[in-house]
């Protein structure tokens, strides 16, 4: 068996009833220094849970109702584990149901809600008698079962806000993992340290040597590993690990698909060189743009980019028969999601080199498979990856092809490239770049009549999108100051004569996605 952090660290198991809720909880636990893993409820049999020897178990929230037909559930063995259990939102309701209490459809509590403690318990250390918490539910726990005690109630509705069943099982109707629950992190810390006695040994900065050793021990002498880098933090950090582990036997490839941002190819190349990665650089722009000609369907564009990428990569990989391994920068949420996360619909087919390892007979190594993005960033910094890469906004694999609605043409590409650079420059100038998740421009086929000088022109509409997000799963648009918006709009229309209108995208995710395509 290969190395896993759970072999060395106290591990909290988060049983997932809905992907994003579970990951948010798991990240908070890790931020408190305790390693955690997410297990989809479909895989959470009694044996699977016990065999992982968790120090504590958390049942996540989720979008279902416990009384729906086929509602996601786990067996009532979860009440009899010999480690503490905490159910959050849906998990709380599930514990009530499994322990003989009742759950009913109520008036719904959404957003900031005041709760009052009914009983003092170590899990509430540091809490006042009343606190504001974040709720998002319409089902509620109407009564606790015979072994249950109410620990807190909502002030307004009287619903059970927290309960304890026996002496180790807790439920919280509110979300301690979201920042709007002011003492939420305190509650999670109490659960981990006071209730479960977990040791906070998880520090991502200590991990580099471990990961390097693991790669080194898997690739036998005489064999090589190949890795495609994009200049993003994940692939770059994975490449640095591979390089430290294997030296020249780690082959780094940087493929320019012609869909990069302004100046990006040069910046990426010089960063990679400064890290000693000595990449093979392939400018395949014309090949990609040729293949994209006439393609306007969003999914088709992604598939075309993925296919051409795979072809180019395959040519490099086949050129050296000692290449037997493929290193990928896959991170933890993708590992969990690709495994068995049922019910989580794939909204867009994300571009990756899927299918290639089998085709080329390469064995896959994913050094970052246990880590969240913010952990990869910290690890990257500890390995000397430049801040420019670590703090760079996420950029989709298919590049600007997903920021152009309709066919990718040279003119639209030039427009979106320049406009995006202007958005970035203005955010950097005002110190906002590092405070937002992503900031970019989009162009499509809609037109707007404009007056340039004394001529009327039927020009492009450029849409600016600036969002904040914790993980890209949900997002809110950033309330940019009017002056910043004004400056972005006037620079775009004056520097790009083909643009006659600039709009600002003000829809959250959901219902929108972050990228337009």
Q: In this complex, which beta carbon is closest to ligand XMP, that of residue 147 or of residue 350?
A: 350
For residues 458-517, which are near ligand XMP according to CB under 6 A?
Answer: 472, 509, 513-515
Q: Is 267 a catalytic residue?
A: no
Question: What's the maximum distance between 2 C-alpha atoms anywhere in the chain?
Answer: 81
Q: Which two tokens stand for residue 493?
A: 């229309």
Q: What are phi and psi of 352, to 5 degrees?
A: -150, -175
348 interacts with ligand XMP by CB under 6 A? yes
Q: How far is the CB of 249 from ligand XMP (least distance, A)?
A: 27
Dist. CA 202–CA 105, nearest whole Å: 40
69 interacts with ligand XMP by CB under 6 A? no
Q: Residue 431: which residues within 8 A CB-CB, separation 6 or more?
A: none
Helices 208-218 and 373-382, axial angle in degrees (round to 10):
90
Q: In this complex, which beta carbon is closest to ligand XMP, that of residue 216 or of residue 509?
A: 509
For residues 301-320, which are near ligand XMP according to CB under 6 A?
Answer: 302
Q: In this complex, which beta carbon is closest to ligand XMP, that of residue 249 or of residue 302?
A: 302
Nearest to 331 by CA among 401, 389, 403, 394: 394
Dist. CA 284–CA 360, nearest whole Å: 21
Q: How far is the CB of 10 from ligand XMP (least distance, A)?
A: 32
Q: In this complex, which beta carbon is closest to ligand XMP, that of residue 145 or of residue 397?
A: 397
- Residue from 89, 375, 426, 515 carrying the catalytic annotation: 89
78-100 b/e with 16+ CB inside 10 Å = b? bbebebbbbbbbbbbbbbbbbbe
Q: How far is the CB of 512 from ligand XMP (least distance, A)?
A: 8
> Number of residues in contact with ligand XMP, rule: CB under 6 A?
16
- Region binding ligand XMP by CB under 6 A among candidate stretches 162-170, 174-182, 272-280, 393-401: 393-401
Rule CB under 6 A: choose which of 91, 396, 450, 459 binds ligand XMP: 396
290-302 b/e with 16+ CB inside 10 Å = b? ebbeebeebeebb
- Region binding ligand XMP by CB under 6 A among candidate stretches 21-29, 51-59, 394-402, 481-489: 394-402
Q: In this complex, which beta carbon is closest to ligand XMP, that of residue 113 or of residue 438?
A: 438
Question: Is 247 in contact with 220 (CB distance < 8 Å)?
Answer: no
117 interacts with ligand XMP by CB under 6 A? no
Instruction: Give residue 154's Cα distance to chain centre.
Output: 32
Peptide bond into 432 cis (omega under 30): no
Rule CB under 6 A: choose which of 351, 377, 417, 491 binds ligand XMP: 351
- For the chain, report the end-to-end CA distance as a whole number of angstroms: 40
- Residue from 175, 257, 341, 426 carrying the catalytic annotation: 175
Rule CB under 6 A: choose which of 397, 412, 477, 500 binds ligand XMP: 397
Binding mask 201-220 for ligand XMP (x = CB under 6 A): --------------------
Q: How far is the CB of 421 from ligand XMP (least distance, A)?
A: 17
**DSSP character for 121?**
-
Dist. CA 480–CA 448, nearest whole Å: 24
Dist. CA 188–CA 176, nearest whole Å: 7
Dist. CA 336–CA 479, nearest whole Å: 33
Q: How far is the CB of 425 from ligand XMP (least distance, A)?
A: 20
Q: Is 175 a catalytic residue?
A: yes
Q: For 1-41, where are the alpha helices, taking DSSP H only? A: 19-31
Q: How far is the CB of 412 from ligand XMP (least distance, A)?
A: 18
Q: How far is the CB of 442 from ligand XMP (least distance, A)?
A: 11
Q: In this complex, which beta carbon is closest to ligand XMP, that of residue 436 or of residue 484?
A: 436
Q: Which two tokens stand for residue 414?
A: 């030039």
- Region binding ligand XMP by CB under 6 A among candidate stretches 16-24, 43-51, 326-334, 342-350: 342-350
394 interacts with ligand XMP by CB under 6 A? yes
Q: In this complex, which beta carbon is closest to ligand XMP, that of residue 139 or of residue 375?
A: 375
Dist. CA 241–CA 232, nearest whole Å: 14
Rule CB under 6 A: choose which of 180, 186, 287, 350 binds ligand XMP: 350
357 interacts with ligand XMP by CB under 6 A? no
Rule CB under 6 A: choose which of 402, 413, 443, 492 binds ligand XMP: 402
User: Is 348 strand, coil or helix?
Assistant: coil
Q: Is 387 a catalytic residue?
A: no
Q: How far is the CB of 219 from ligand XMP (least distance, A)?
A: 26
Q: Residue 301: which residues within 8 A CB-CB, separation 6 or more?
A: 292, 295, 398, 401, 402, 408, 517
**Catalytic residue positions, numbered:** 89, 175, 177
Positions in the binding site for ligand XMP (CB under 6 A): 302, 347-348, 350-351, 394, 396-398, 402, 438, 472, 509, 513-515
């Amino acid at each position: 068996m290969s190395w896993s952090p759970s072999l060395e660290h106290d591990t909290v198991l988060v049983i997932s009833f809905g992907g994003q809720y579970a990951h948010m909880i798991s990240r908070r636990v890790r931020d408190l220094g305790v390693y955690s893993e997410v297990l989809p409820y479909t895989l959470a049999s009694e044996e699977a849970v016990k065999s992982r020897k968790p120090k504590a178990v958390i049942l996540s929230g989720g979008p279902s109702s416990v009384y729906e037909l086929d509602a996601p559930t786990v067996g009532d063995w979860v009440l009899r584990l010999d480690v503490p259990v905490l159910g959050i939102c849906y998990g709380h309701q599930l514990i009530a149901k499994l322990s003989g209490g009742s759950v009913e459809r109520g008036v719904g509590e959404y957003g900031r809600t005041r709760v009052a403690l009914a009983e003092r318990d170590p899990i509430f250390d540091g809490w006042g008698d009343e606190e504001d918490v974040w709720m998002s539910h319409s089902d509620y726990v109407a009564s606790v079962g015979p072994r249950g005690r109410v620990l807190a109630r909502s002030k307004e509705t009287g619903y059970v806000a927290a309960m304890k069943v026996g002496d180790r099982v807790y439920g919280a109707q509110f979300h301690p993992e979201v920042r709007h629950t002011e003492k939420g992190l305190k509650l999670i810390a109490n659960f981990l340290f006071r209730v479960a006695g977990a040791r906070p040994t998880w520090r991502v900065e200590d991990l580099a040597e471990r990961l390097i050793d693991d790669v080194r021990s898997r690739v036998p002498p005489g064999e090589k590993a190949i890795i495609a880098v994009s200049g993003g933090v994940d692939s770059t950090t994975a490449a640095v690990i591979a390089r430290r582990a294997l030296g020249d036997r780690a082959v780094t490839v940087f493929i320019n698909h012609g869909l990069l941002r302004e100046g990006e190819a040069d910046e990426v190349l010089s960063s990679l060189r400064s890290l000693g990665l000595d990449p093979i650089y392939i400018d395949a722009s014309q090949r990609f743009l040729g293949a994209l000609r006439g393609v306007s369907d969003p999914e088709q564009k992604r598939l075309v980019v993925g296919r051409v990428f795979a072809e180019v990569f395959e040519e490099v990989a086949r050129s050296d028969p000692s290449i037997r391994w493929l290193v990928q920068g896959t991170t933890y949420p993708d590992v969990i999601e690709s495994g068995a996360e049922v019910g989580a619909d794939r909204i867009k087919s994300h571009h990756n080199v899927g299918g290639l390892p089998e085709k080329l007979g390469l064995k896959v190594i994913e050094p970052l498979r246990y880590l969240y993005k913010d952990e990869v960033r910290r690890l990257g910094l500890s390995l000397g990856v430049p801040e420019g890469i670590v703090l760079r906004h996420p950029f989709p694999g298919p590049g600007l092809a997903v920021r152009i609605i309709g066919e990718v043409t040279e003119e639209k590409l030039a427009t979106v490239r320049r406009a995006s650079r202007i958005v970035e420059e203005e955010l950097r100038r005002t110190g906002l770049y590092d405070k937002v998740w992503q900031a970019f421009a989009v162009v499509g086929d809609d037109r707007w009549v404009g007056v340039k000088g004394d001529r009327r022109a039927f020009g492009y509409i450029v849409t600016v999108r600036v969002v904040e997000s914790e993980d890209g799963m949900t997002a809110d648009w950033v309330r940019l100051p009017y002056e910043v918006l004004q400056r972005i709009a006037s620079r775009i229309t004056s520097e790009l004569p083909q643009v006659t209108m600039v709009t600002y995208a003000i829809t959250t995710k959901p219902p929108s996605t972050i990228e337009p395509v």
